[in-house]
C-alpha cells in the first residue's frame, strides 16, 4: 500500500508541471506492480480543487471518474485521525504542517504504511511518525 499526497496526482494530470514525467512514471510503475494506491479524503478534495482551479473542470471531472473506477482506493478519516492531526499540527506548528499533510501522516500511522507519494519534501522529511523513523517518499528523486 502506498498513501498519496496531492502533489504527484496534480503533477501527473498536468503536462506542463515540472514533475509531470516523474509522477506519470511513478503511477505507471505502481500500477504495473499492482500496488494499492490509497487516497485520503482530504487529498481528494485538495486535488479536485487544484485541478478545477488551475487546469479546468473537465480535468477535475476526469479525476473523480478515475477514483470512482478504481484508480485510487479512497480512505476516510476517523475521529482518532482528526485528534492525531491536531496533535501533529501542534507539534509542528513552526512548519506549519496543515490539515492535508497531517491527515496523510495520521493515516500512515494508523494503517502502518511506510511509503508516501509526495513532492513535499519539506514537511514529510521533518515529521517523525510514531510507527517508523521516517517515511519512504516517492518518487525517490525530484
Annotated binding-site positions for Mg(2+) = 5, 101
Cα three-residue angle 105-106-107, rounded to 5 degrees: 90
Within a 13 Å sphere around the CA of 101, how many CA atoms are in the beta-carbon half?
22
Region of 40 please: left (phi>0), alpha (psi -120 to 50) or beta: beta
Question: How far apart are the C-alpha atoms of 19 and 10, rounded to whole Å?
Answer: 9
CB 138 within 8 A of CB 106: no
Q: Which residues are annotated as a binding site?
A: 5, 101
Sign of CA dihedral 93, 95, 96, 99: negative
Amino acid at each position: 500500500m502506498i498513501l498519496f499526497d496531492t502533489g504527484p496526482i496534480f503533477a501527473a494530470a498536468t503536462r506542463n508541471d515540472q514533475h509531470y514525467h516523474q509522477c506519470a512514471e511513478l503511477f505507471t510503475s505502481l500500477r504495473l506492480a499492482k500496488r494499492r494506491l490509497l487516497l485520503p479524503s482530504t487529498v481528494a478534495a485538495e486535488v479536485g480543487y487544484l485541478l478545477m482551479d488551475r487546469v479546468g473542470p473537465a480535468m477535475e471531472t476526469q479525476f473523480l471518474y478515475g477514483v470512482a473506477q478504481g484508480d485510487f482506493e479512497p480512505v476516510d478519516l476517523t475521529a482518532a485521525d482528526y485528534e492525531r492531526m491536531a496533535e501533529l499540527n501542534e507539534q509542528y506548528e513552526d512548519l506549519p504542517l496543515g490539515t492535508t499533510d497531517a491527515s496523510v501522516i495520521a493515516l500512515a500511522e494508523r494503517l502502518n504504511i511506510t511509503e508516501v507519494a509526495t513532492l513535499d519534501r519539506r514537511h514529510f522529511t521533518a515529521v517523525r511518525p510514531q510507527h517508523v523513523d521516517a517515511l519512504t517518499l516517492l518518487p525517490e528523486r525530484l
